[in-house]
């Protein structure tokens, strides 16, 4: 990861989908900032702005660009940080 990378995870505690992303980030040793959503409140304006289609967490924000859906985020993390331990098999059929 370049020192200029800024990574934010928009999530709420207890989300299994968010946990999937947190585990992927931890496995790759990627530092990130967490923005907690309150699951008992209305969706934040940040979430509505970043995920205009599904309006769901988690959302990974990498250098200002949002990536949505946990499986897509994990694949993105694996692709961007290829130099670290692989999360997914090299053969796409085995994903």
Three-state secondary structure of 43-90: CCHHHHHHCCCCCCCCEEEECCEEEECHHHHHHHHHHHCCCCCCCCCC
Please state, in angstroms and as integers, the Cα–Cα distance from residue 47 to each residue in 12, 35, 74, following that order.
Answer: 12, 10, 19
C-alpha–C-alpha distance, residues 32 and 48, integer Å: 21
User: Does residue 19 lie within any of the structural domains?
Assistant: yes
pLDDT of residue 42: 61
User: Does residue 68 lie within any of the structural domains?
Assistant: yes
User: Does residue 1 lie within any of the structural domains?
Assistant: no
User: Does residue 18 lie within any of the structural domains?
Assistant: yes
pLDDT at 45 over 80: no
pLDDT at 2 over 60: no
Looking at 6-10, 21-25, 53-57, which range is the least confident one?
A: 53-57
User: Does residue 33 lie within any of the structural domains?
Assistant: yes
Range of the domain at 79: 7-94
User: Does residue 82 lie within any of the structural domains?
Assistant: yes
- Domain CATH number, residue 87: 3.40.30.10
Q: Which tokens hold the place of 7?
A: 């990574």
User: Does residue 29 lie within any of the structural domains?
Assistant: yes
Q: How many domains does the chain have?
A: 1
User: Does residue 34 lie within any of the structural domains?
Assistant: yes
Q: Which tokens hold the place of 60?
A: 């990974």
pLDDT of residue 29: 96
Q: What is the mean pLDDT of the chain?
A: 84
């Amino acid at each position: 990861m370049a020192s200029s990378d800024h990574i934010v995870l928009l999530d709420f505690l207890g989300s299994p989908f968010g946990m999937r992303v947190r585990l992927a980030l931890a496995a790759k040793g990627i530092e990130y900032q967490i923005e907690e959503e309150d699951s008992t409140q209305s969706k934040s304006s940040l979430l509505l702005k970043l995920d205009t289609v599904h309006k769901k967490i988690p959302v990974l924000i990498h250098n200002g660009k949002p990536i949505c859906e946990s499986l897509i985020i994990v694949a993105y993390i694996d692709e961007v940080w290829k130099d670290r331990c692989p999360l997914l098999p090299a053969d796409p059929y085995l994903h």
